[in-house]
Structure 1
Amino acid sequence: MGKRKTKRKPAPKKKLVLDTQFDCIACNNEKCVDVKMQRDAKVGNLNCRLCGIKFQSPINPLSDPVDVYYEWVDASQANKPEDSRRGSADLSDEELNYHDKDLRDISDVEDDGRLRGRGISPGFVDDEEEYD
């Protein structure tokens, strides 16, 4: 006679765990920002191990470490608006991103020379013969 088939137990669901370590926006290092939640004091503390920057934010019972981190990101962006950075000409090299450095360092004459070196005319006009 036939045996009864045994049922497999369903695979356990993996629990999603939110990070408590994040990338620092001040020193641009990875996984160096620790967030500690003090639920009894209703305060979230953020601290970078490398550059020493600290931030403190009020929390509620539903807050997570990622909430404190993004409050810090929002607060730092509110202090340095992106539009005002682009307008000033006396910024140091550290304050400029990679593309801004390239645009500031290359003059029009150097750019034309680079294009001619590659066989491209600086006016971007096609030098091809007309075909009938």
Structure 2
Amino acid sequence: MSTAHDDLDAWKRRRTLELAYELADSGRYEDFTDIAYALQFERGMATAQALIDDPDMRRVLNQRCGDAREKLAPVPEPVPEPEAIEAASEASNDHAQLPQAGDFTGAPSLFKRALGIVWRSGNAGGLNSAPS
């Protein structure tokens, strides 16, 4: 009967270590302490802490956690040099397409345009007469 018990214990140890590696490789955990907590309290594996509480195991789990987080981290975009920004702004002609304040001096006001629309539609008579 002890061989069956030994086989079960071996399977539990192997399964705990496999899960510890999976959690470390997920990138969601900071280090081995987070993994031990997840195994023990979230997965109900009471012996997990004792199984991974080995300096070599801690080192491996910490390394795998760090590698996984690096893979999941967004790649930073390169910051352009100030000279490149200045050259791009000088080469751009976007500013030439923007209207300037002087472009609006001859344009009728919004109020004048609205009155013109009303006048052309034939409803202007009502604007000049007082109510009866």
Which TM-score applies when normalising by structure 2?
A: 0.26
**Which structure dedicates a bigger proportion of its chain to strand?**
1
